[in-house]
């Protein structure tokens, strides 16, 4: 079917109703004016190449998307009509057959892929969130078809960008019926549909939220100078509930402890005293979760990065390391391994030179033993 033929059929249908261009969106989707309160076509001539009447494949539907885009560029006053009709149809998905909903999903995905005018993301996503549509699983089925079709020609980042603009990136669970609204349900559903990248993205988001929540809880407890045992219990419980990896716990602990320090600008001695006092105060907390050489090394890398990125801490690196050693947080073997074979290059040359006197002392003590 050629563009001129498609437009000819489209215009003939609208002119059958007195040249009413307000029917544009309805004709594109259903081939004619729809009956009030339904998606069913009203009496009169019907456009034979409507979305509802074609096969549910991208190859068949794509030309209609492209032709619609051409019309909207020439007659932009039709954009609002298309948007209104699309919103009405999406709010009435239960009135369509399953096969018809699939066609609408394909059209919508291709419309975004082709950057069709008149379909801002909120027009698509927000109308879907009607309780009855969500509860019946209609929305989940529609959005799954939409995701699958859109990702054929676009990246996951493109999809996330659309979801953000539609204010849905943080609310993907809202597409699920309440009984399936869980991280496990999300992963099971989209894994079965072959959308593994989306599953991985969601798992990453959930992980980041759990880390953020844990960091917030710890920050509050440390600011309030909570009892050491209470803080340790909080960390253990969150690790258990969220199944957080040990290495992330070590990173969070150091960040929270250093964020709580009252730095004094350019006064190096006061900064040093504040940092060392914090290490000494919370050494037991660090000790509880730095349970092996690998985790100790990760902590040392965190100290290295913080001192590298914060100019006021650059000269404090050897003092902090010495304090962590004195409080039995870092073992001698860990420090020597970092000194001889550390792999993080940022500031390494400077820090190795600054730590050399302390390392020499460790090696001399080792020889004496």
pLDDT band at 358 (very low <50, low <70, confident <90, very high): very high
Within 10 angstroms of residue 130's Cβ, the number of other Cβ atoms is 17
Mapped onto helix, strand or coil, the DSSP state of residue 34 is strand
Dig out the tokens for 113 from the structure: 């892929």
Ranges 254-263, 324-333, 358-367: which has the least confidence? 358-367
CB neighbour list of residue 112: distance below 8 Å, 6 or more residues apart? 119, 121, 124, 150, 162
Domains, the chain, ordered by start: 3-194 (no CATH), 204-368 (1.25.40.180)
pLDDT tens for residues 293-317? 999 999 999 999 999 998 778 888 9
Contact at 8 Å (CB) between 287 and 329?
A: yes
- Could you tell me which residue, 176 or 65, shows the higher pLDDT? 176
Which range has the worst mean pLDDT, 82-86, 176-180, 181-185?
82-86
**Could you tell me the sign of the dihedral formed by the alpha carbons of 42, 47, 52, 53, in that order?**
positive
**pLDDT tens profile 20-46:** 444 666 667 776 656 544 555 555 555
Mean pLDDT of the chain: 84
Which pLDDT tens digit goes with each residue over 104-154? Answer: 999 899 989 988 766 788 878 888 899 999 999 999 999 999 999 999 999
pLDDT higher than threshold 90 for residue 88? no
Among residues 106, 114, 100, which one has the least CA distance to residue 148?
106
């Amino acid at each position: 079917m050629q563009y001129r033929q498609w437009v000819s059929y489209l215009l003939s249908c609208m002119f059958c109703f007195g040249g009413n261009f307000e029917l544009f969106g309805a004709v594109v989707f259903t081939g004619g004016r729809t009956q009030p309160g339904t998606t069913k076509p009203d009496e009169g001539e019907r456009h034979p190449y409507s979305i509802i009447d074609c096969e549910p494949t991208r190859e068949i539907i794509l030309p209609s998307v492209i032709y619609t885009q051409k019309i909207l560029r020439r007659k932009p006053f039709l954009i609002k009509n298309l948007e209104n009709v699309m919103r009405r149809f999406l709010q009435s998905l239960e009135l369509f057959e399953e096969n018809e909903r699939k066609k609408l999903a394909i059209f919508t995905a291709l419309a975004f892929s082709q950057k069709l005018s008149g379909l801002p993301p909120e027009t698509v996503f927000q109308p879907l969130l009607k309780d009855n549509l969500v509860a019946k699983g209609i929305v989940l089925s529609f959005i799954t078809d939409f995701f699958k079709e859109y990702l054929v020609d676009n990246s996951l980042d493109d999809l996330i960008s659309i979801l953000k603009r539609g204010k849905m990136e943080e609310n993907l669970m809202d597409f699920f019926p309440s009984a399936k609204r869980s991280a496990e349900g999300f992963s099971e559903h989209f894994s079965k549909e072959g959308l593994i990248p989306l599953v991985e993205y969601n798992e990453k988001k959930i992980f980041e939220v759990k880390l953020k929540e844990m960091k917030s809880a710890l920050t509050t407890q440390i600011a309030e100078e909570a009892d050491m045992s209470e803080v340790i219990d909080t960390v253990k419980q969150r690790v258990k509930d969220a199944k957080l990896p040990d290495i992330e716990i070590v990173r969070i602990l150091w960040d929270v402890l250093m964020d709580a320090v009252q730095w004094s600008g350019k006064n190096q001695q006061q900064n040093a005293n504040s940092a060392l006092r914090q290490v000494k105060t919370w050494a037991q907390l660090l000790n509880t979760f730095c349970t092996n050489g690998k985790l100790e090394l990760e902590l040392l890398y965190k100290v290295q990065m913080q001192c590298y990125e914060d100019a006021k801490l650059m000269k404090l690196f050897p003092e902090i390391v010495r304090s962590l050693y004195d409080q039995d947080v870092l073992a001698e073997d860990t420090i020597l391994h970092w000194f001889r074979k550390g792999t993080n290059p940022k500031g390494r040359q400077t820090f190795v030179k600054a730590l050399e006197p302390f390392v020499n002392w460790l090696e001399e003590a080792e020889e004496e033993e």
